[in-house]
Amino acid sequence: MVTVEKSKSREIIALKPAQYTYPVFIIQLAIQQRIISFSSWRAIEKNFKLWAQFFNLPTPDFTTIRQWFLKLGIFELIKSKEKRTDWIFIIDTIVEQGHKKCLLILGLSYQQWTEKLKAKKKTLQHHDLDILAIEIVEKTQGEIIESLIDNLANTVGKPLQIISDHGSDIKKGIELYISRNPGIIYTYDFTHQVALWLKKDLSKNHEFLEFLQQCNVTLSQIKQTKLSFLRPTSQRSKARYHNLDILVNWGLNLVQYWKKQDFSLITTEFIIDRETLFLLREELDQTSLRKLAEILGTKASSKTSFYQVITEKFGRELCQKKVLIISQAAELGRRKFLEKLGWLLDYEKQLQIYAEILEVFAKAKKQLTQQGLHPLSQPDWLELTKEFSDSPWVQKTQQKVAQYLGIEGQKIPQNQAFLATSDIIESIFGKYKIFASSASNSEINEMILTLVLSTTKLTPDKVLQAMETIQVNDVNAWSEEVFGQSMLSKRKLAFSTSTNSIKVA
C-alpha cells in the first residue's frame, strides 16, 4: 500500500503540462497559496525562493503565477455545467469602483442540500456550490437580470428555488422570470431580512445612534493608548446591521470587565494627587483628607505597595476601613477607564435588550440552518418561543420571525425543506474583497475569477487539463471581451500627456 502511494506521489511530482517548464504540483501549490493563504503574487514568488533554500524546487516569477491563476479560473468558468432539474439558484451582485457590476449566480442541487440536512452537516462550504454564472454588466435593471437568469436556465436547467436579498433590480428580475415560469420558489434571504428589521428599528433610535457615535469617538481616542486592547471594533460603512452582534458583544464584555474592578491590565500604578483628593472630598472626613494631602505626589507601582503607603499613614485599623475607597480614587487604571470608556456603563440596560433581540434572530437562524425552510417552520418556531423571555422587545422580535416563516414557509411544498439564507454567497464575495481591497484602483477586473476558484476543489488532473486547454491568448481575449480597457490603463494614458509634472528633489 505504502509503495503504491509513493509511486503515485512520484507520478504527480513528475506530471507536467505539455510545453511547460514547471510541473503541475508547483502550479497547484502556487494557486492554492493565493486562494487559501490570501498571499499576493509577489509573496508567492518569494515563498518559492525561500523553499528553494532547502528543497530542490523551481521558483516561478509572480507574472507566471498570475497567468496560471487566470488560466485555471477561465477553464473552470467556461466549462460546461451539469444540466439538472433541481437547482437552487443563489443570486447577488457586487459593486466596486468604476461603472461595472458583477452578477454572481451560485448553484446548489436540491439533492445535495437535502443530503447535507440529513447528515446534519449544517454549514454549506464553498466547494459545495457551483459557479453557474458570472456576468459583468454596466446596468442591472430587472429586464437584464431576467434575461441572464433565463439564458442560464436554458443551459443548466430551470431552478426549483431562487434565493436572494430584495435589492430592487434583482427582485424585479427574479419576479419577471418567475411570472413567465410559475412554480419556482422565490425566497427572501433571512439574513438580509434581519438586517432590514434592525435598520428600520435602530436607524432612527436616538440612543442607539449616540451609542454608535460614542464608539467611533472612543476608537479614535484610545487606539494608540494603554486602553487600546479595550477598543471597540471598527464599524462598517455598508452592511452595518449585518454585524451588530460584534459591537453589542464588545459593549457587554466591557461592562463585565468593569464589574471585575481589576484595572491592572491598563496600568498597575496608584497616585495621591489633587484629583485623588477631589474624588474623595465627599467620601472622607477632613482629618483623613489632610493626612492624604501630606503625602501629595506619592506614587506606588502596585496595589500591594500602595496599601503599605496607606497603612503607614493611617495605621492598620483605620487603613482597613478606608483603603478601598482611597485606592479606587488613586488607581490610575480605573481613572483611565472611566475617562474614556465610562460612558458605556450608561448603556448596559440597552445593550442587554439588543443582545436579547440578536439572540432571538440567532435561534431562528439556527432552526433554519438545521431544518431548512419548510411548511411547518412557523409552528416549530412558535413552539420554541414558549421558552423565550416575555420582554416586549423579545416578543416583538419573535413575532417578526414568525411572520417571515409563515410567508416564506407556505411557498414550500409539503415534506420538503429548502434553503433560507444566502450567507454562503456573502462569504465568497468576502474572499474576493480581501484581494480587491489591496488594489490601488479596486475596480472589478480579472481577480473576479477568485469567486470561481473559491468553489473549486483543485486536483493535479484538473490543473493539468486547464494549463493545456487555456492559452495566454485565450486569457487576453477573455479579459478584453469581459472588461475592456481597465481604469488603471486609462488613468496612465490620461496622465502620460502631462508636460507639467512636478518632481520633488
Query: Which ranges in 385-448 belong to alpha helices (H)?
Result: 392-409, 423-436
Q: What is the pTM of this model?
A: 0.84
Longest dimension (CA), the chain: 94
Q: Which residues fall within 8 angstroms of residue 229, CB to CB, at 6 or more apart?
A: 265
- Is 1's pLDDT higher than 70? no
Give me the chain's average pLDDT, please.
Answer: 88
Confidence (pLDDT) at 439: 58
Q: Which residues fall within 8 angstroms of residue 429, CB to CB, at 6 or more apart?
A: 92, 94, 104, 451
11-61 tens-digit pLDDT: 667 789 988 999 999 999 999 999 999 899 999 999 999 999 999 999 999
Confidence (pLDDT) at 4: 42
212-250 tens-digit pLDDT: 999 999 999 999 999 999 999 887 665 556 678 899 999
- Average pLDDT, stretch 74-95? 91
Quickly state the pLDDT bin for 97 (edges 50, 70, 90).
low
Q: Are 422 and 189 in contact (CB under 8 A)?
A: yes
332-389 tens-digit pLDDT: 999 999 999 999 999 999 999 999 999 999 999 999 999 999 999 999 999 998 878 7
- Is 157's pLDDT higher than 60? yes
Q: Which residues fall within 8 angstroms of residue 284, CB to CB, at 6 or more apart?
A: 292, 322, 325, 326
- Average pLDDT, stretch 266-294? 92
Give the single-character DSSP code of 301: S
Residue recorded with cell 493611617: 314
87-189+419-429: CATH topology: Nucleotidyltransferase; domain 5 (3.30.420)
Q: Is 103 helix (H, G, I), strand (E, B) or coil?
A: strand
